[in-house]
Amino acid sequence: MTKIKGRTEIAQLGEFGLIDHLTEPFKAERKSTIKGVGDDAAVIAASEESSIVVSTDTMVEGIDFDLRYFPPKHLGYKAVTKGISDVLAMNAIPEQITVSIAVSSKISVEFLQDLYDGIKFACHEAEVDMVGGDTSASINGLVINITAIGRAKNEAIVYRSGAKVNDLICITGSLGAPYMGLKLLQRESRVLEGVVGEKPQFEGYEYLLERYLKPRARYDIIRSMAEENIVPTAMIDLSDGLSSDLMQICRSSLCGARIYLERMPIARQCNALGEEMHIDPVTAALNGGEDYELLFTLPLSQRDKIASLGCIDIIGHITEPNTGCFLVTPDGGQIELRAQGFVKQA
């Protein structure tokens, strides 16, 4: 008699547990595969001096975006940002992308033209070439997949696994704005449903909308660090939220972490909208995701050098193995960080 396997719900494993479960049997067998599954991007040997960095990301309608309030040009731009951000997190420079889409019958040629106009603008801004892709039909909606390809010198590539005890934890830009921008769009969509002649109330929150609809990849930071010969010990892009992504670094580097609430760069408009909508801006910063900023670690000796670049905040430090990941409050209290995963909603 054939044994009937039991059913395991994805929620039992969580996002990162699921990835581990599915990919654990895959071991690199080619000498050219320097790094496979387990980081922001794969690393493939190109020469004795440099390597190719490759990453792929998928955006699904109804999960990652809602076409009711996502202009196609912004969607194309954001798809490129999401793709090349993983390459940047390896301290590599993105050079090419491929774009594959699955399209349902509700999508027009004009919509797709606008989508690709946004892709083109993002590519031009980041000095990246779009070199191919694929198009397929979809029953339920729009799916966009971006494969990003970059290059870096072997000694410059940064993995999640290099953080050392007492390293500084640094972050670019501000946190929480994309999540709050999404909440603002959802609120106005609900309020105006069925209402004719009224406009959404976005005044004063334009920054939040821009960060959600048109986030900018931080290639400027990667280039600035290269000019100053700064190489992080570990790095990741902030796509799943500060909590989840910091825990990924700690998991790969076999260490703990302490970050400090008063040092977290929460966008000013997050506080204003959070008070208006009764949303804790700290929760948005920790778990909101889609910031596409860079989270990285550096030796303590690099403090003055990294501070001189601007737009970078030192928010904590790496601790000994098995000490956990905690947010330290101004009164000295400690709140354990938790990975979210699979909490996106359009």
- Parse the chain into domains and list their residue ranges: 31-156, 160-191+202-336
Calpha distance 182→208 (Å, rounded): 8
The length of the chain, given as a count of residues: 346
The pLDDT value given to residue 36: 83
For the record, the structure tokens of 103 come out as 């399209």
Q: Which residues pair with 53 in a beta bridge?
A: 43, 150
One DSSP character per residue, 279-337 reads --HHHHHHH------EEEEE-GGGHHHHHTTSSEEEEEEEE-TTS-EEEEPTTS-EEE-
Q: In sequence order, which residues have a C-beta less than 8 Å from that of residue 151 and are 6 or more positions away?
A: 46, 50, 51, 52, 53, 92, 93, 95
Cβ atoms of residues 92 and 150 within 8 Å: yes
For the record, the structure tokens of 89 come out as 């997190």
| Tens digit of each residue's pLDDT, the chain (346 residues) | 444 467 888 877 877 677 778 877 878 778 888 888 888 899 999 999 999 999 999 999 999 999 988 999 999 999 999 999 999 999 999 999 999 999 999 999 999 999 999 999 999 999 999 999 999 999 989 999 999 999 999 999 999 999 999 999 999 999 999 999 999 999 998 988 877 778 888 999 999 999 999 999 999 999 999 999 999 999 999 999 999 999 999 999 999 999 999 999 998 999 999 999 999 999 999 999 999 999 999 999 999 999 999 889 999 999 999 999 999 999 999 999 988 654 444 4
Positive or negative, the Cα torsion across 113, 212, 17, 90?
Answer: positive
For the record, the structure tokens of 263 come out as 């040092």
How many Cα atoms are found within 13 Å in the side-chain-facing hemisphere of 19? 10
Tell me the CA distances in angstroms from 194 to 175, 198, 270, one per residue in order: 33, 10, 28
The pLDDT value given to residue 31: 86
User: In the CATH scheme, what is the code of domain 160-191+202-336?
Assistant: 3.90.650.10
Calpha distance 326→259 (Å, rounded): 6
One DSSP character per residue, 119-171 reads HHHHHHHHT-EEEEEEEEE-SSS-EEEEEEEEEEEGGG---GGG--TTPEEEE
The helix or strand, by DSSP H or E, that contains position 111, with its residue range, turns out to be: helix 109-126
- The residue assigned the tokens 């076999």 is 254
- What spatial distance separates the first Cα and last Cα of the chain, rounded to whole Å? 45
Write the burial class of residue 226 (CB in 10 Å: 0-12 exposed, 13-18 middle, 19+ buried): middle
User: In the CATH scheme, what is the code of domain 31-156?
Assistant: 3.30.1330.10
Tell me the CA distances in angstroms from 213 to 46, 54, 232, one per residue in order: 35, 24, 29
Of the candidates 296, 15, 292, 47, the residue with the CA atom closest to the CA atom of residue 146 = 292
The pLDDT value given to residue 20: 79
